[in-house]
């Protein structure tokens, strides 16, 4: 059984962290070995993944601590270049833990494949014909992927839609609903749409133009919820109630205003994408689905909600499409993506989705708590200052020295870092 609380992890030397993590995750250390070697993806393996490969590109992996999701502790690998995200998520997971952790659930993993049917003389009779032959079309689609079928997936439904207002006139869109189980599903759905197209043309007398998955995966939703006792939110000069109410006020801004909602949702995606990337999943698909879902009412708005319950607790929820897989693609061939799945102990794509969305909610809370109180810059600055110190040429212990000095001065800039470094070098020269 994993224990996601590792006190002092932040202050441990880098060389000791993997061993401590393996111990907390109750895993042999070898499972996490790819993390110690730049992700473990060899240029040769990369050469089989995409075209014109010249090498690989590394990013930091940090561990989201303190997460408790559906009564289970989870250690969460997060791949991200931005400071404060891992620390913020871990801290908020600790506060959520005090209220019982995250409660998450998912719908069936159903993806939507779209077929655009053009050149129809009578759209209504084409719709009727497709619906009359629904059983036949579904059974044809169902037979296309025997592996998915065996795992309990397959074609579930057909829906017809008519697009009236378009520069090319009215046309028909056929949706194939496909349960993809533990796959992301793009390959299975695209194959099914391409295979069904000739039969759809025969039944409608039209021409099937596009045959492709929709990234607005609004039938494959994951929802998570956390409850934070107000007392847990108090810090410095801020009372728990003031922080709680400030968070609700900040959320109301995102609910009402698309300019704020875009930034609010970006904060959610800081957490979401970090885990999506760590597991080798397609973060562009997740981003596209998230923002389209945020605009589903016709107005772009917040993906999360924050309210106060009858006991005065802060309650947050986040619901969004989550088309991630744990079989196939990079999730299977990338060594650190495999390590990530083992570390989290997720056995299904839905379990992975539930971890990802919970990290997104924690990250949203971290941003709102900072914004509603001391502002975002203070927390950001100490880690940002380290990056600036490194960029200015600081190494080893000097990184911390230069960063601390810049934060104390309230000036975190490369020219200031260079100045401090110069001063240190001068004073350490033998006279």
User: If binding is defined by CB under 6 A, does position 264 make contact with ligand MEV?
Assistant: yes
Is 48 part of the annotated catalytic residue set? no
Catalytic residue status for 334 = no
Query: Is 304 a residue that touches ligand MEV (CB under 6 A)?
Result: no
Going by C-alpha positions, the residue among 355, 219, 362, 193 that lies closest to residue 281 is 355
Our finding on whether 369 is near ligand MEV (CB under 6 A) is: no
DSSP notation for 384-398: HHHHHHHHTT--THH
Structure tokens at 250: 């900040």
Distance CA 400, CA 370 (A): 23
- What lies within 8 Å, CB to CB, of 65 at 6+ separation is 4, 5, 6, 9, 75, 90, 93, 94
Q: Which range, of 106-114, 128-136, 140-148, 259-267, touches ligand MEV by CB under 6 A?
A: 259-267
Regarding 367 and contact with ligand MEV (CB under 6 A), the answer is yes
* Residue number, 371 or 411, with CB nearest to ligand MEV: 371
Query: For ligand MEV, which is the closer residue by CB, 66 or 265?
Result: 265
- 282 included as an active-site residue: yes
DSSP state of 37: G
Shortest Cβ distance from residue 264 to ligand MEV (Å)?
A: 5
Q: Does 267 bind ligand MEV (CB under 6 A)?
A: yes
Buried b (16+ CB within 10 A) or exposed e, 201-236: eebbebebeebebbbbbebbbbbbbbbbbbebbeee
Which of 124, 263, 348, 377 touches ligand MEV by CB under 6 A?
Answer: 263
Cα maximum dimension of the chain: 94
Among 149, 175, 227, 266, binds ligand MEV (CB under 6 A): 266
> What tokens were used for 116?
């655009």
Nearest distance from C-beta of residue 387 to ligand MEV, angstroms = 14
- Residue of 149, 245, 380, 400 marked active site: 380
Task: Identify the residue among 46, 128, 376, 414 touching ligand MEV (CB under 6 A).
Answer: 376
Residues 160-199 that bind ligand MEV (CB under 6 A): none
Distance between alpha carbon 91 and the CA centroid of its chain, in Å?
A: 18
Give the neighbor-by-neighbor strand order of the sheet with 314-321. Answer: 72-79, 61-69, 102-106, 221-228, 314-321, 304-308
- Cα–Cα dist 306/227, whole Å: 10
Task: Give the residue with the Cβ less far from ligand MEV, 181 or 264.
Answer: 264
- The residue at minimum Cβ distance from ligand MEV is 267
**Stretch of residues binding ligand MEV (CB under 6 A), selected from 136-144, 266-274, 297-305, 423-431:** 266-274
Q: Which of residues 67-96 bind ligand MEV (CB under 6 A)?
A: 82
Whole-number Å distance between alpha carbons of 148 and 142 = 9
Binding flag, residue 5, ligand MEV (CB under 6 A)? no
Active-site position among 47, 82, 287, 418: 82
* Residue 266 a catalytic site member: yes
* φ, ψ at 256 (rounded to 5°): -90, -25
% helix, strand, coil for the chain, step of 5: 50, 20, 30
**Rounded distance between C-alpha atoms, residue 194 and residue 179, angstroms:** 17
Residues 217-246 that bind ligand MEV (CB under 6 A): none
Q: Which stretch binds ligand MEV (CB under 6 A): 44-52, 60-68, 264-272, 353-361?
A: 264-272
270 belongs to the binding site for ligand MEV (CB under 6 A): yes
Residues annotated as catalytic (active site), given as ranges: 82, 266, 282, 380
Binding site for ligand MEV (CB under 6 A): 82, 263-264, 266-267, 270, 367, 371, 376
């Amino acid at each position: 059984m994993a224990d996601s609380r590792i006190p002092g992890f932040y202050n441990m030397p880098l060389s000791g962290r993997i061993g401590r993590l393996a111990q907390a995750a109750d895993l042999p250390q070898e499972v996490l070995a790819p993390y110690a070697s730049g992700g473990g993806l060899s240029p040769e393996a990369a050469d089989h993944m995409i075209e014109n490969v010249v090498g690989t590109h590394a990013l930091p992996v940090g561990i989201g601590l303190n997460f408790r999701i559906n009564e289970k502790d989870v250690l969460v690998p997060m791949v991200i270049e931005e400071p404060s995200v891992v620390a913020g998520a871990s801290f908020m997971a600790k506060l959520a833990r005090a209220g019982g952790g995250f409660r998450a659930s998912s719908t069936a993993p159903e993806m939507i494949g779209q077929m655009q049917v053009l050149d129809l003389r009578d759209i209504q009779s084409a719709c009727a014909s497709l619906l009359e032959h629904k059983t036949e079309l579904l059974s044809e689609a169902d037979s296309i992927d025997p592996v998915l079928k065996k795992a309990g997936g397959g074609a579930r439904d057909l829906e017809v839609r008519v697009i009236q207002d378009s520069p090319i006139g009215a046309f028909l869109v056929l949706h194939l609903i496909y349960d993809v189980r533990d796959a992301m599903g793009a390959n299975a759905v695209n194959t099914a749409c391409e295979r069904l197209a000739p039969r759809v043309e025969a039944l409608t007398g039209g021409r099937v133009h596009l045959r492709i998955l929709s990234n607005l995966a609004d039938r494959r939703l994951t929802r998570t919820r956390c409850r934070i006792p107000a007392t847990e939110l108090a810090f410095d000069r801020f009372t728990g109630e003031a922080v709680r109410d400030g968070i609700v006020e900040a959320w109301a801004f995102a609910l009402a205003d698309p300019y704020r909602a875009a930034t609010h949702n970006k904060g959610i995606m800081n957490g979401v994408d970090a885990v999506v990337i760590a597991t080798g999943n397609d973060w562009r698909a997740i981003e596209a689905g998230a923002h389209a879902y945020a605009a589903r009412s016709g107005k772009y708005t917040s993906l999360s909600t924050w309210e106060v319950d009858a006991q005065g607790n802060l309650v947050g929820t986040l619901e969004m499409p989550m088309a991630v897989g744990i079989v196939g693609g990079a999730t299977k061939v990338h060594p650190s993506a495999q390590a990530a799945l083992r570390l989290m102990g997720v056995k299904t794509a839905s379990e992975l989705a539930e971890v990802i969305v919970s990290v997104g909610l924690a990250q949203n809370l971290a941003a709102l708590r900072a914004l509603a109180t001391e502002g975002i810059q203070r927390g950001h600055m100490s880690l940002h200052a380290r990056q600036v110190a490194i960029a200015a040429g600081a190494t080893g212990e000097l990184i911390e020295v230069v960063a601390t000095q810049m934060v104390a001065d309230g000036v975190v800039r490369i020219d200031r870092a260079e100045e401090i470094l110069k001063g240190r070098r001068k004073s350490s020269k033998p006279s």
